Amino acid sequence: MKRFVVKLGGSLLFDDDGLVKIDFVKNTLTVLREAAKDDTKIIVVVGGGVTARKYIHQARPYVENESALDQLGILASRLNAALLHSIYYKTFPVIPSSLEELARIVASALPVIFMGGLQPGQSTTTVSALAAEATGSQLIIATDVEGVYTADPKRDPSAKLLKSVSIDSLIDIFSKVQKAGEYRLFDSLTLQIIKRAKIHTRVLKGDPPENIIRAIEGEDIGTLIEPA
């Protein structure tokens, strides 16, 4: 059985007001249903998005504990995952809260599994890398940009898309300490997991969602991260 972990950034699923981009969600779920055929299992890790950021922003003046703020983001990401599960299966959501629970669900008949964050100190991108490592999956990180650039393409118009990049180069770039709700495309823990597990990883634009199935089918799209 082929296995893929797909990281869906919250920015893809929700607008700036926190409202669900329902047409995009339905299209994404249709793509996942198609991709999960032919003996393929997909684990979808959903980010907290604007919902998580709003809760963290409101709590930060009163809460000095970063772990507590992280937990708010984790709960938001699980809520987002539960929403996708309920729409996809039209039933009660089953959202794993640990890698052990994920392993049990992967062994079930569910073709697509939805999950959010796991524990404080980890971005959902880190969770996606851990899930890929634990289940022997390839990793697809779907974002709101085409892939990995030489600089932030939203701030630097001269930034160039990298078709491939070594994991060691990314580790050099993304090495600063992050606060809750301020994770960027990568954090150092994510990259260390990708490196140690030699995870086949591709970063791509998740809109249109058909890009995901193109990556699953082996097309050279977005940025390939070379793990060694």
Q: Does residue 181 register a pLDDT over 80?
A: no
Q: Which domains are present in the chain? A: 2-226 (3.40.1160.10)
Q: Does residue 177 register a pLDDT over 50?
A: no
Gyration radius (Cα) of the chain, Å: 16
Q: Does residue 97 register a pLDDT over 90?
A: yes
pLDDT tens-digit readout, 64-89: 999 999 999 999 999 999 999 999 99
Q: Does residue 174 register a pLDDT over 80?
A: no
pLDDT at 196: 96
Average pLDDT over residues 34-62: 93
Annotate 29-47 with b (16+ C-beta within 10 A) or e (fewer): bebbeebbeeebbbbbbbb
Least confident range of 90-99, 134-143, 147-156 = 147-156
pLDDT at 106: 96
pLDDT at 188: 85
Annotate 81-100 with b (16+ C-beta within 10 A) or e (fewer): bbbbbebbeeeebbbbeebe
pLDDT at 149: 86
